[in-house]
A and B are shown apart, each in its own frame.
Chain A
Amino acid sequence: MSAPTVLRRPSPARLSGPTGRRLPSWGTAALILAALAAYPLVFADSAAHNIGILALTFGIAATGWNLLGGYAGQVSFGHALYFGTGAYTTAALVRQGWSPWLAIALSLPLAALLAAAVGWPCFRLRHHYYSIATIAVAEIVFILVTNLPGLGQANGWELPVVEQSLANLQFSLLDKRPYYYVALGFFCLAALAVWLFLRGRAGNYVRAIRDDQEAAAAVGIDVHRYKLAAAALSGAVTALAGGYYVMYVLFVDPPSGLGLDLSVSFTLMAVLGGVGRFWGPLLGAWVLVFVQDVTRQEFSGSGRSVDLLLYGALIVLVSITEPGGLLAIGQRLWAPVARRLGGGRGGKAAPEPAGSAEVKP
């Protein structure tokens, strides 16, 4: 069987631009990691740490969404289901006295299984049929958890406050840096898992499925199987975010763990930063969490919020002007600068040569 790269057909207006299939180099990864590691030292106040913790945690979830929605092209509006699986499993086990590390670890395969179970019937659906089905499944679970006894119902669950230690995953609320660095560690883990998936054969297959499912099937790619694989990893990564989130806020209820708004925000983060771009969701998460924090302070007390308004406007703007998101806009602005600098590092914005070595399995 020939390499799936031959399937690429020119479609200039694809949501992810030509660089969308490129995976990050070690250099970029190291730079980003260094900047993230320095952040809490540069911005020393607790509010900034809180922003960082939430941005990294939601960045994990959005990166998970991006694997399925951006790289595999299956736009899910129901990823809160997997976030909630992580949050509720972790909460349930920690309330029983389990170690949070074990609890989170156990929630990952559970979410992967659930994602595969949801995907099994739903991946027969295409485009909006699939997207609406993901809303339906997530909303049904939301309603069940809210009403059925056993999962805290509408009141939600609180987690016990225990001795502060890394083992208990609870730290001082005065100095939140430990929370931040654990979040960073989890983000690295999630990014590594997604990167390993994408650089392998499966990564090429899911992108081929996104670009043209019929062609992918025609050259013998098991479409259903690779969609399920992407969904399983995507679900597990999103559950990791949910598990850590619940350890940070020590509370979960249906709106904060399973709500439609949560699914929406994962999607928005990925779309804003750059769908199908590796660092896009992380960038989108930082921007959205920051915007939310600033506007909440500005308008607190009035009962009004501008964050939804801004998110919506941003999403519409991004999708009609530059579907590649902020990263694509950045690259476009960076391109002339890079050229002027002599083109030494200008490869970032240069069109990718056909059949680049990076996409070979």
Chain B
Amino acid sequence: MTDLLQSVVNGLLIGAVFALVAVGLTLIYGVMDVVNFAHGEMVMLGMYTSFFAWSLLGLDPLLSIPLAGVSIALTGALMYFGAVGRVLGKSPLAQVIVTFGLQVFLRGLAQFLWTPNTRTVPRPWAAGLRWEIGPVVIGGPQVIMAVGALLATGAVAYFMNRTRLGGAVRAAGEDPAAASLMGIDPRKMYALCWVIAGLATGVAGALLMNSYSASPTAGVSFVLMAFVVVAFGGFGSITGAALAGLLVGVAQGVVGLYAPSYTLAAALALYLVVVLVRPQGLLGTR
């Protein structure tokens, strides 16, 4: 019972990071109808940014959050203007393939520049923290990651749902032609989505460096989880993604307790069940 409780808590904490990663993915999907297969690679680049901020500048992963966020936001803008923006309006196949190519490219770039070795930040500040609540032990890095991820996810949701600019982005997603008649340039809004997604994944990467190691393939499991989360929350729904992130985290924690080798398989099976049985997800409207 204690183990189960512990797994649920751990799952909830990592679920917050899933939510943050998934928010950018669902935003790009909801507004542009593009699936960003390179999303996990953006997280991976955020992790490397944070790692090098530590190894070159001596910055704790917590302090490199703004740096990682801004760097990956720029990367996101580059990805949009350099590749994804150029295939909009072309065939669905070209749109599926282009982010897939970006994924391979970014992973290859990391492998070329930094070799497949894993990089870890030893003893980040957060690792010194530790709480015991009854029988449940909560590590500092997990709490920091979860709190940071929740704040960032909340910020994205606030921006999209409560600000004028966020409204403009949503308008461009719902009806690009009508939006452009209202003086909104859809292409700028699309670029903004990539910047926001970059911010979110960069922040997620820096947060993750508190207890994960960076490697060229570090993003793979996160993007697969993010697909599951996005499907579960309803493609395009930000609030849905946030909730689903926590749920999928808990599910992963619990499955991990009984069958640690099968957590990813269970999550992917969940994706299949969701898209086949309830394609609109928890909160989606499509």
Interface residues of A (CB under 8 A from B): 11, 13-15, 69, 73, 75, 77, 121-122, 124-125, 127-129, 131-133, 135-137, 139-140, 143-144, 146-147, 260, 264, 267-268, 271, 275, 302-316, 318-320, 323
In the complex, are the beta carbons of B111 and A127 less than 8 A apart?
Answer: no
Choice from A140, A147, A311 contacting B104 with Cβ under 8 Å: A311
Number of A-B contacts (CB under 8 A): 151
Looking at B50-58, B130-138, B197-205, B260-268, the stretch in contact with chain A turns out to be B260-268
In the complex, are the beta carbons of A275 and B272 less than 8 A apart?
Answer: no
Q: How far is the CB of B256 from chain A (nearest CB, A)?
A: 13
Nearest neighbor of A125 in chain B, beta-carbon distance: B275
Choice from B98, B101, B106, B112 contacting A304 with Cβ under 8 Å: B112
Looking at B66-74, B81-89, B152-160, B170-178, the stretch in contact with chain A turns out to be B81-89
CA distance A73 to B92 in the complex (A): 9
B179 within 8 A of A: no
CA distance A339 to B106 in the complex (A): 41
A-B CB contact pairs (8 Å), 26 listed: A13-B89, A15-B97, A75-B96, A125-B275, A127-B96, A129-B279, A133-B271, A133-B272, A136-B227, A136-B271, A139-B268, A144-B265, A147-B262, A302-B115, A309-B105, A309-B111, A312-B109, A315-B97, A315-B98, A315-B100, A316-B83, A316-B105, A319-B97, A320-B83, A320-B94, A323-B97
In the complex, are the beta carbons of B96 and A128 less than 8 A apart?
Answer: yes
CA distance A315 to B101 in the complex (A): 5
Identify whether the interface residues of B are mostly helix, strand, loop, or mixed: helix
Q: How far is the CB of B259 from chain A (nearest CB, A)?
A: 9
Residues of B within 8 A of A140 (CB): 265, 268-269
Interface size on B, residues (CB 8 A): 46
CA distance A143 to B261 in the complex (A): 8
Q: A139-B265, A319-B97 are in contact. Are A121 and B104 (CB under 8 A)?
A: no
In the complex, are the beta carbons of B90 and A13 less than 8 A apart?
Answer: yes
B122 within 8 A of A: no
Identify whether the interface residues of A are mostly helix, strand, loop, or mixed: helix
In the complex, are the beta carbons of B103 and A312 less than 8 A apart?
Answer: yes
In the complex, are the beta carbons of B100 and A306 less than 8 A apart?
Answer: no
In the complex, are the beta carbons of A315 and B105 less than 8 A apart?
Answer: yes
Knowing that A312-B106, A315-B97, A323-B97 are A-B contacts, what are 8 other residue pairs whose CB atoms are under 8 Å apart, sorted by A's residue number? A132-B271, A135-B224, A139-B265, A267-B97, A308-B107, A309-B108, A311-B105, A320-B94
Residues of A within 8 A of B269 (CB): 136, 140
Residues of B within 8 A of A302 (CB): 115
Q: How far is the CB of B237 from chain A (nearest CB, A)?
A: 15
CA distance A260 to B104 in the complex (A): 12
B117 within 8 A of A: yes
In the complex, are the beta carbons of B94 and A15 less than 8 A apart?
Answer: yes
In the complex, are the beta carbons of B105 and A271 less than 8 A apart?
Answer: no
In the complex, are the beta carbons of A132 and B35 less than 8 A apart?
Answer: yes
Nearest neighbor of A77 in chain B, beta-carbon distance: B100
Residues of A within 8 A of B107 (CB): 308, 312
Q: A132-B231, A143-B262, A312-B105 are in contact. Are A15 and B91 (CB under 8 A)?
A: yes
Residues of B within 8 A of A139 (CB): 224, 264-265, 268
In the complex, are the beta carbons of B268 and A136 less than 8 A apart?
Answer: yes
Q: A305-B111, A310-B108 are in contact. Are A137 and B261 (CB under 8 A)?
A: no
Choice from A129, A314, A320 contacting B87 with Cβ under 8 Å: A320
B1 within 8 A of A: no
CA distance A7 to B105 in the complex (A): 37
CA distance A75 to B97 in the complex (A): 9
Q: A121-B276, A133-B272, A320-B87 are in contact. Are A275 and B93 (CB under 8 A)?
A: yes
Residues of B within 8 A of A15 (CB): 90-91, 93-94, 97
